[in-house]
């Protein structure tokens, strides 16, 4: 995931929609950032948090070997 985010920065694309979030939550700040958004986007930090629930251990639908 981090490599994908880094590649998007290299390509100067905002596929995660940071600009959209800022423009909705703080239109005044977006007006200031919008003029230099490509440069600003490089400075934006991204934290990725993965959560999952392990429901069962050792249970498969079919045998792994035959």
- pLDDT tens per residue, range 16-43: 898 999 999 999 999 999 888 888 888 8
Share of the chain above pLDDT 90, in %: 24
Residue matched to tokens 């929609």: 17
Residue 65 lies in a domain: no
pLDDT at 30: 92
Residue 20: domain span: 2-43
Residue 33 lies in a domain: yes
Residue 48 lies in a domain: no
Give me the DSSP letters along 10-61.
HTT--TT-HHHHHHHH-HHHHHHHHTTHHHHHHH-------------SS--S
Q: Which residues contact 12 (CB under 8 A, 6 or more apart)?
A: 38, 41
Residue 55 lies in a domain: no
Q: How many domains does the chain have?
A: 1
């Amino acid at each position: 995931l981090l490599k994908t985010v880094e590649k998007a920065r290299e390509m100067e694309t905002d596929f995660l929609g940071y600009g959209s979030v800022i423009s909705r939550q703080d239109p005044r700040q977006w007006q200031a950032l919008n003029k230099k958004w490509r440069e600003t986007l490089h400075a934006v930090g991204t934290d990725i948090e993965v959560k999952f629930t392990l429901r069962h251990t050792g249970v498969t639908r079919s045998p792994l070997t035959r």
